[in-house]
Amino acid sequence: MSNPSNPIPADLQATFDPQRKSWIESANDAACDFPIQNLPFGVFSTASHENARVGVAIGDSVVDLAVLHEAGLLRVPAGSSGAENVFARAALNDFIALGREVWRSVRVQLSSLLARDTTSGATLRDDAGLRQRALVKLADAKLHLPVEIPGYTDFYSSKEHATNVGSMFRDPKNALLPNWSEMPIGYNGRASSVVVSGTSVRRPNGQLKLPDQERPVFGACRKLDIELETGFIVGRGNALGEPIACENAEAHIFGMVLLNDWSARDIQQWEYVPLGPFNAKTFATTISPWVVTLDALEPFRVAQPVQEPQPLDYLRHAGNHAFDIALEVLLHPEAASEATSIARTNFRHMYWTMAQQLAHHTVAGCNTRVGDLMGSGTISGPTPDSFGSLLELTWNGKNPLELKSGGTRGFIEDGDELTLAGWCQGEGYRVGFGECVGKILPALK
């Protein structure tokens, strides 16, 4: 674990302690995604309290931060502009805009309040009425899109994925285009169609160019796919014309989510020349509801892959900037009794880091805003079972996958439910992202 540009204060370091346990016993299960070492932020509501507000997941519960703030147990540091009722809002943006020192202060306070062996948590732990108001079972919570997303950018930063796609559709000996190893390739997507996990996705219609026909036809996508990705949320923007330096970029990142950038491969193949994907990508992007902060991921920091050639100066940063995040994809047909795990990979394989992506995104002067979403691009590993899309897993449908419940899949069929999962494995605990789920509905006629 090494990142000289992001020193960790001692009180924050204590929140990573693998020996720390919570008085919320479900958080102490080694298989739980939300132990006290995680404390991811999201937005939720309940049937009895329909106003969406900010919460933190721990164990099988959501902590209502608006209740804790109102009770005086959770303080936003004095002088923080806009801090009044910041947790009683339907998006995280206003809280995020308060800055990294506030994010860290709130994390430290929550870790102390929820820890089994600290006296500061006694007021919440021992006050039955307050505990009843402040803790909501996850099963009873409706989870919302955690941030208002001003802009969405998707990158193409997995060397293994880019090599697979280049080999599939171009000369395998020249799978990577000359610019790929020089900069993080990306495109601007549609923020308006980013949806939260659990939202059904309708199969898109579009133009399809069939190999035996001179002109395209209009119809439903026949090669619907997933892209196993993560995304990061911008926590501090930059002014127009003022780039973010690579060595400082992580201070501008609030946290990460799981991201499924649904892809209509056949629509994309016809439309992407000369300006890239359009309708093939704009119909939906699904993200997980919980934002895992970079601070929670700090213990899982690892070295990024060696980059050859060495990047230009503006893309260089010292230290380790990858993270050991295990990732999995499950496919569950509508009538099947169980899901099939179709891919397992790891975020640590990503060639271009989040810091490099953000530095490159802004180097020409592009401004970013709090809540902007940046997709990693499909995350593929070095082995066939670690590829992050059906396009690769089935090699464009030529080698269909066998499913546990019988049958095969080349691409996604109507009624299929796809689940992305991700976690960092600690010593006796795991920092998880929860799930990123979407079910495919038939195309409109």
Annotated binding site for Ca(2+): 154, 227, 229, 261
389 backbone dihedrals φ, ψ, rounded to 5°: -150, 155
Q: Which one is catalytic: 161, 317, 332, 349?
A: 161
Alpha-carbon distance of 163 to 436, in angstroms, equals: 26
CB 377 within 8 A of CB 161: yes
Annotated binding site for Mg(2+): 261, 281, 285
**How many CB atoms are closer than 10 A to CB 168?**
14
* Closest to 54 measured CA to CA, from 83, 20, 14: 83
Residue 1 CA, chain-centre distance (Å), reads 21
Alpha-carbon distance of 309 to 136, in angstroms, equals: 51
Annotated binding site: 154, 156, 170, 227, 229, 261, 268, 272, 281, 285, 378
Alpha-carbon distance of 213 to 215, in angstroms, equals: 6
Alpha-carbon distance of 158 to 180, in angstroms, equals: 10
CB 80 within 8 A of CB 102: yes
End-to-end C-alpha distance for the chain, whole angstroms: 53
Q: E strand or H helix at 155, and its extent? A: strand 152-155
H-helix segments, 2-76: 10-13, 65-70
Which CA distances in Å does 267 have to 35, 210, 218, 270?
A: 42, 10, 10, 6
The string of DSSP letters for 361-411 reads HHTTS--B-TT-EEE------SSGGG-SSHHHHTTTTTSPEEPTTS-EESS
Alpha-carbon distance of 354 to 332, in angstroms, equals: 31
Amino acid at the residue 385: D
Instruction: Please confirm, yes or no, whether 161 is among the known catalytic residues.
Output: yes
Bond prior to 274 in cis (omega within 30° of 0): yes
3-state secondary structure of 151: coil
Alpha-carbon distance of 364 to 368, in angstroms, equals: 12
Give catalytic residue positions.
161
